[in-house]
Structure 1
Amino acid sequence: MTGMQLKIAGSICMLFLTGLYGQVSVAAKPVKDMPVISIIIDDLGTNSARHERIVRLPGAISCSFLPLNPATVRLAKLAHSYNKEIMLHLPMESIADDPMGPGGLSLDMTHQEFSLALQKDLESVPHVTGINNHMGSLLTRHPGHMVWLMKDIKRNGKLFFVDSRTTRKSVAMTVAVQEGVPSLQRDVFLDHDPALKSIRRQFMLSINRAKKKGSVLVIGHPYKNTLQVLEEMLPKLEGMGVRLVAVSELLKYRNMRQKIWHASLSRSQKAAKSLKQ
């Protein structure tokens, strides 16, 4: 039987099966191949009952704790027991000069003061695996201070950095890449507008972005309406075709996709070169 005859026979067989059994089913997309979403909840570390509810949310929420706060140690340990990824929500100076709280990094610090403050902040958060900035619209636009930060992070050897992007002029991510620090930047703020309707809209925007781009990194806060939306929607995520992962997992996912893209580009360039010869 020729190749063409085999194709025709296969098509007839498929038509026959479809006629007998209706639409031929397609295997469901494996969970590991789903688009992914990471959600960081900032500003944790007070004795609020709402903060405990955040820690107990289902799935791989990443919990970012303010340093040297009354309940940071207790809540970070509790979050770790629930298999949550723990981050330091590092206070940095803002353009508006808003109060940073304890452990803040400011533009007028010497290099030594800067590094000592960072070390104390890290030591105050148990099980910390990464850092993102709290405020920082002033500090994150200064390359020199960001070099200090990234060199200290790299020296630690076990941390990643997330640029919360509190200003479009931030150079934090750029410097992190230059210094070889595993890094990401925020894609969506979930609750910049804390109204329930707006948070729902931002959540769906995040889902759609994950499906379009393959992944999305979202930052939210322990607001009443944010918690309500997360408690409602997190159990439904996989049914919506999106998988919740920790930030460290998102880093691996994006690095893998980048390697695949570079490999594909390299093959395309080699193919184009061979055609010219």
Structure 2
Amino acid sequence: MAWKIVVTLLKHLIHPVLGLLCLSFALSAAPARLAIVIDDFGYRKHNEEQILKMPAAISVAVLPNAPLSQEMAQKAYQSGHEILIHMPMAPISKQPLERDTLRPGMSVEEIRRIIAQAIRNVPHAKGMNNHMGSAMTSDLGAMQLVMKTLSHYQLYFLDSVTIGSTKSIQAAEGTSVQVVKRKVFLDDDQSEAAVRKQFNLAVKMAQKNGSAIAIGHPHPSTISVLQQMLPQLPPDVVLVPVSHLLPSAPHRTYPSREPKPVEVETPEKPVAIPVDLTHRCPAPESIEKINPQATYSTIKNIFGTSPAIWSIYSYLTYCSVAPQISASSLPSAPNRP
């Protein structure tokens, strides 16, 4: 009986249903994915704790030999944030370096020791990215040793791309290490206007390419911009951890984000519909056989829940009560010559 009802219904609704299903598919299209990583955790507790109050989809990268590395890694883990080891790597320019900075020319034993210690200092890490590192990441032989070591720990590698000639992807070939690359730096210029501009650039890149990774730091300006901008992300962009962007990451369905509704003043009296829509309903003898609630349940079980299915339910409910509405309750249409 339920199937006969569905068939009868679809005969009358085939064109409206197709339109609503197209709308439903458009609304449920995969959103653009934006990953944001905040580097240099382990030194500025107050600022870093403000980051940890933000959505858990923000990833954090902890310097392994910073004074607060273990404490902040534990707090990040407890707050649900994904953790990376922010591994110091040698830059081309001369500048002060962190202890146990990876350098080209190091032996495989030394690289293994430094990475093993970093993993102990940053618990719960799922990946690694480079702190500085223009000299190290552009050296294929040195990066091959890094990737071979990482493959023993099932960590991914996020290339911060501090130099255009980075060799991270080539170095990972033949290993189990998955590599992704940074697209946008949020705060090379720490003014709020510049950070906001870079944030918007990251959003546009995610929308254009399907995904993007942005890297920032726990500067006051970056924190302020994130606090302002994250609640205003477009509905077609979802914030994700870095691991969701790995090549082998499973397909995920993200909850839809609807724009905030605009509040409108509710009129004191109900407004009558000025157009009689009953001529768009199935014939009365057909609609009398349809229980909107039962039909909605049947269609939902077949096709699943979607805006289109809910619209069909609303349509059926209207048609089931339309004959009961007195024609006199509808405003008369004006006479036309």
* TM-score with structure 1 setting the length: 0.79
Cα distance in 1, alignment partners of residues 171 and 251 from structure 2: 21
- Of 206, 213, 217, 1:217 maps to 213
Cα distance in 2, alignment partners of residues 118 and 253 from structure 1: 24
Amino acid at match of 2:242: V
Cross-structure match for 1:249: 244
Higher mean C-alpha displacement, 47-56 vs 210-219: 47-56
Amino acid at match of 1:160: Y
Deviations 1:2-37 (A, max 9, x none): xxxxxxx979x65xxx9xxxx99933623x721100
Amino acid at match of 2:245: L
Cα distance in 2, alignment partners of residues 103 and 118 from structure 1: 9
2:152 aligned counterpart, secondary structure: helix
Asked whether 1:103 is paired with 2:80, we answer no
- Of 29, 33, 52, 2:27 maps to 29
Cross-structure match for 1:164: 160
Cα distance in 2, alignment partners of residues 246 and 108 from structure 1: 33
Cα distance in 2, alignment partners of residues 24 and 149 from structure 1: 50
Q: Which 4+ residue blocks in structure 1 deviate beyond 4 angstroms?
A: 252-257
> Is the CA contact 1:177–1:183 (under 8 Å) kept in the aligned structure 2?
no
Deviation at 1:241, TM superposition (A): 1.8
Deviations 1:137-189 (A, max 9, x none): 10111111101000001122x21001100000111122124433111011111
Amino acid at match of 1:76: A
RMSD: 2.7
Cα distance in 1, alignment partners of residues 198 and 84 from structure 2: 23
1:42 aligned counterpart, secondary structure: strand
> Is the CA contact 1:106–1:139 (under 8 Å) kept in the aligned structure 2?
yes
Deviation at 1:240, TM superposition (A): 3.6
Cα distance in 1, alignment partners of residues 82 and 106 from structure 2: 30
Cα distance in 1, alignment partners of residues 21 and 170 from structure 2: 49
Deviation at 1:251, TM superposition (A): 1.3
Deviation at 1:55, TM superposition (A): 1.8
- Of 233, 236, 250, 2:229 maps to 233
2:134 aligned counterpart, secondary structure: coil
2:131 aligned counterpart, secondary structure: strand
Structure 2 segments unaligned to the other structure (5+ residues): 1-11, 253-337
Cα distance in 2, alignment partners of residues 176 and 29 from structure 1: 38
Question: In the comparison of the two structures, how many residue pairs are matched?
Answer: 241
User: For the pair shown, which has the larger CA radius of gyration, 1 or 2?
Assistant: 2
Amino acid at match of 1:197: A
Structure 1 segments unaligned to the other structure (5+ residues): 1-8, 258-277
Asked whether 1:199 is paired with 2:192, we answer no
Deviation at 1:66, TM superposition (A): 0.2
Cross-structure match for 2:113: 116
Cα distance in 2, alignment partners of residues 59 and 202 from structure 1: 21
Amino acid at match of 1:79: A
Cross-structure match for 1:72: 69
Deviation at 1:97, TM superposition (A): 2.6
Amino acid at match of 1:29: L
Deviation at 1:103, TM superposition (A): 2.6
Asked whether 1:90 is paired with 2:87, we answer yes
Deviation at 1:254, TM superposition (A): 6.9
Cross-structure match for 1:61: 58
Cα distance in 2, alignment partners of residues 194 and 36 from structure 1: 24
Amino acid at match of 2:84: M
> Is the CA contact 2:87–2:130 (under 8 Å) kept in the aligned structure 1?
yes
Higher helix share: 1
Identity percentage over the alignment? 34
Cα distance in 2, alignment partners of residues 114 and 224 from structure 1: 34
> Is the CA contact 2:91–2:134 (under 8 Å) kept in the aligned structure 1?
yes
Deviation at 1:58, TM superposition (A): 1.7
> Is the CA contact 2:82–2:241 (under 8 Å) kept in the aligned structure 1?
yes
Cα distance in 1, alignment partners of residues 211 and 51 from structure 2: 22
1:129 aligned counterpart, secondary structure: strand
Cα distance in 1, alignment partners of residues 207 and 169 from structure 2: 24
> Is the CA contact 2:140–2:170 (under 8 Å) kept in the aligned structure 1?
no
Cα distance in 2, alignment partners of residues 59 and 48 from structure 1: 17
Cα distance in 2, alignment partners of residues 75 and 205 from structure 1: 29
